C-alpha cells in the first residue's frame, strides 16, 4: 500500500471508526487516539479489532512525532512524502 492509494480514503479504525495514519516503513495503519497499530500483510490492511496491537507509550510518542512532522507516510529514506490521514481529518467523524 502506498500513501496515494485510493483505498486509504475509505479505511477507518474498526473500534472508534476514526481516521488512521499510514506508516510506510512499518507497513501498518495507526490510530493515535487508541494507540493501536494494524498490520498490512502483502499490502492488505488487517482491520479486525483482534488484528490490532496496543502500542507502548514510548512507541506512541515516536509515532506521534512522525505524524506531527508529516513523515509518517514517507518512505524508509524519508523521501519527502507527506503524512496520509485516512478517513478524514484527525478527530473528525467519518460517518
Using 50, 70 and 90 to split pLDDT, how confident is the model at 72?
Answer: confident
Residues of the chain above pLDDT 70, percent = 76
Q: Which residues contact 52 (CB under 8 A, 6 or more apart)?
A: 14, 15, 31, 36, 37, 38
d(CA 73, CA 92): 20
pLDDT reported for residue 20: 93
Fold adopted by 6-74: N-terminal domain of TfIIb (2.20.25)
Instruction: Return the SS3 of 34.
Output: coil
Residue 68 has pLDDT above 70, yes or no: yes
Q: What is the mean pLDDT of the chain?
A: 80
Residues of the chain above pLDDT 90, percent = 56
Domain residue spans of the chain: 6-74
Query: Which is more confident, 71 or 54?
Result: 54
49: closest CA among 86, 16, 92, 90?
A: 16
In tens, the pLDDT along 4-21 reads 888 888 999 999 999 999
pLDDT reported for residue 91: 43
d(CA 30, CA 37): 4
Amino acid at each position: 500500500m502506498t500513501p496515494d492509494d485510493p483505498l486509504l480514503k475509505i479505511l477507518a479504525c474498526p473500534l472508534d471508526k476514526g481516521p488512521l495514519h499510514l506508516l510506510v516503513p512499518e507497513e501498518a495503519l495507526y490510530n493515535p487516539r487508541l494507540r493501536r497499530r494494524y498490520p498490512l500483510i502483502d499490502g492488505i490492511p488487517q482491520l479486525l479489532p483482534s488484528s490490532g496491537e496496543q502500542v507502548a507509550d514510548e512507541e506512541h510518542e515516536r509515532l506521534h512525532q512522525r505524524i506531527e512532522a508529516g513523515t509518517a507516510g514517507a518512505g524508509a529514506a524519508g523521501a519527502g512524502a507527506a503524512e496520509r490521514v485516512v478517513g478524514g481529518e484527525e478527530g473528525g467523524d467519518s460517518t
